[in-house]
Structure 1
Amino acid sequence: MPSAAVRAKRPVIPGFGLTMGFTLLYLTFIFMIPVGGLLLYTSTMSWEDFWSAISHPQVVASYKLSIGASLIGATINLVFGGLVAWVLVRYHFPGRKFIDALVDLPFALPTAVAGIALVTLYASTGWVGQYLEVHGIRIAYTQLGVIVALTYIGLPFVVRTVQPVLEDLDAEREEASASLGASRLTTLRRVVLPALLPALLTGYALAFARALGEYGSVVFISGNLPYRTEIAPLLIVQKTEQYDYQGAAAIGTVLLLAAFLLLLAINGLQWWTSRRSQ
């Protein structure tokens, strides 16, 4: 008869081997094979061809815009997405469930439709853009428009990542901090933010990775001006249409590595913060 300690370690529902096999099979076909195929195809290029494809001035300009706008959009969502999650969890007000449902709209709305809607709003003759144009502020067909589009599609990632953590955060810890004489700012900085930091970083990384590969909602509002508002995913599409598959693969590899390095850095930062909190 197995001991009580051995029985306690056994899972309630058996089948780890079978479920792990399905998991690995699923990840292999959905993720590993496409990514491995991209890297393998890129490796067939000579170094001179690869460098020529990724270092062209037009391609470099698209990298700067895609990566820079994605970082800015993710940073904006880090702040305001956290605030939206805080309001939805900590306060009860009329229409809260409706606003909570609106957060998921970028998930449900086709990106092309979102791009058309953003142009309708922010063009110089749009509902909002016509008033901004009076003050010399242009959004549509500028780099600012790219940032607006990438912020729009990245907001749900931060909100939905932070919300469960806020719901599980015990309010008694904040009350204890206040009873010990800590100010609201000190309670926020020493009690709330350390608990939310891993979730905030995860939402930031997801928003950045999503924005880096965004295409549909950006091409309409950016104007696609070479060297100015042309994003890297658009160049990939253009090169595939021109049958330059190696050039498209090279650009895609650079974007893949950029997203992977940021996710690796974020995971390392999460590990460091969790070690400090122990």
Structure 2
Amino acid sequence: MFICSKKSGSTIPGFGLTLGYTLTFLSVIVLIPLCCLLLYSTKLSLAEWEKLITSRQFLAALSLSLMTALISAILNSFIGLLLAWVLVRYRFPGRKLIDTCIDMPFALPTAVAGIALTAIYAKNGPIGQLFSIKIAYTPIGITLALLFVTLPFVVRTLQPVIKDLPKEVEEAAKILGATPVQTFISVILPAIFPAWITGFTMAFSRAIGEYGSVVFIAGNIPFKTEILPLLIVAKLDQYAYAAAAAIGVCMLLIAFLLLFLMNMIQRWFNRAVVKQVK
């Protein structure tokens, strides 16, 4: 007869040691650089902070960054959902090739992507010349670059959730007389919504700070196509390191508030689902 101890041992031994390594690595890679950024931005006085964040150039870059990032994240949240659904639920020739191409923005250097998009969508490019409107060096071009970069975040976040979604539940809803729209709203959406929000948040956060793929197609025209990362580089070229750090702090606060808001939405949705089940 075996006597089981009340305290079960950890599967991975050395909890204290592994926790120490984890916290040290996290501090060196993430926390310390962010704290240094915050401290460096304090070199600006309150008057200089106010002058910076109320300047016309900063407000124009901020509004353009938020607008293009939001549009690209919203579009990719729907395009990514369709791609993830097709890649998981259907079998067709070339499916694995398409699935591999989804990861190309991860593997391809962002500068290369920016050069390629600029060459294609420029006024004399093979695609740009087909449109009467100008695409490159406009907010439209910036949005296209962000769509290219952020698409994998939504697709790869939704794919595992859709794989775990049993088809029998959808078939049962269909047998009970539910329309495709009712099945999506009542059966599919509650299951994928947390992952969908996560993918949207990751895409939006990445789009705000994207630089490599945008720098060429944007053209860096002040008050027109200058986004926040480009403004930071412009400040660094002017040796205004404290101002560049202050802009970085503003972007950090935006990302933090976005993540906090998305977590609150997920918690509210999970509570609503639990109450509905009860």
Task: Sort the TM-score into its range (normalised by shorter chain).
Answer: over 0.9
Deviation at 1:45, TM superposition (A): 2.1
- Structure 1: unaligned runs, 5 residues or longer: none
Distance 1:129 1:5, change over 3 A: farther
Paired residue secondary structure (1:174)? helix
Distance 1:72 1:5, change over 3 A: farther
Q: 2:207 aligns to what?
A: 211
Deviation at 1:188, TM superposition (A): 0.7
Trace 1:133-212 onto structure 2 (pairs within 5 A): 136-212=132-208
> What are the Cα deviations for residues 155-176 of structure 1, in whole angstroms up to 9, with x where unaligned?
0000000001111111111111
User: Residues of 2 paired with 1:50 and 1:4: CA distance?
Assistant: 62
**1:253 correspondence with 2:249:** yes
- Structure 2: unaligned runs, 5 residues or longer: none
Trace 1:38-117 onto structure 2 (pairs within 5 A): 38-117=37-116
User: Residues of 2 paired with 1:138 and 1:3: CA distance?
Assistant: 76
Amino acid in structure 2 at the alignment position of 1:236: I
Distance 1:5 1:173, change over 3 A: farther
Distance 1:243 1:3, change over 3 A: farther
Paired residue secondary structure (2:142)? helix
> What are the Cα deviations for residues 229-257 of structure 1, in whole angstroms up to 9, with x where unaligned?
01111111111121101110111111111
Paired residue secondary structure (1:216)? coil
Deviation at 1:4, TM superposition (A): 3.9
User: Residues of 2 paired with 1:100 and 1:75: CA distance?
Assistant: 21
Distance 1:11 1:174, change over 3 A: farther
User: Residues of 1 paired with 2:17 and 2:41: CA distance?
Assistant: 34
User: Residues of 2 paired with 1:274 and 1:26: CA distance?
Assistant: 32
**1:239 correspondence with 2:235:** yes
Q: What is the root-mean-square deviation in Å for CA atoms of aligned residues?
A: 1.6
Paired residue secondary structure (1:228)? coil
TM-score (norm 1): 0.95
Paired residue secondary structure (2:223)? coil
> What are the Cα deviations for residues 46-72 of structure 1, in whole angstroms up to 9, with x where unaligned?
111111122210111000111111111
Deviation at 1:5, TM superposition (A): 7.1
User: Residues of 1 paired with 2:237 and 2:221: CA distance?
Assistant: 18
Contact 2:44 2:243 in 1 (8 A): no
> What are the Cα deviations for residues 79-110 of structure 1, in whole angstroms up to 9, with x where unaligned?
10111100000001000000000000000111
Distance 1:151 1:5, change over 3 A: farther
Q: Percent identity, aligned pairs only? A: 52
Deviation at 1:137, TM superposition (A): 2.1
Distance 1:172 1:16, change over 3 A: farther
Moved more, 43-52 or 31-40: 43-52
Amino acid in structure 2 at the alignment position of 1:34: P
How many correspondences in the alignment?
Answer: 274
Amino acid in structure 2 at the alignment position of 1:194: P
Deviation at 1:11, TM superposition (A): 3.0
Amino acid in structure 2 at the alignment position of 1:186: Q
User: Residues of 2 paired with 1:193 and 1:47: CA distance?
Assistant: 46
User: Residues of 2 paired with 1:129 and 1:44: CA distance?
Assistant: 45
Amino acid in structure 1 at the alignment position of 2:223: Y
Paired residue secondary structure (2:262)? helix
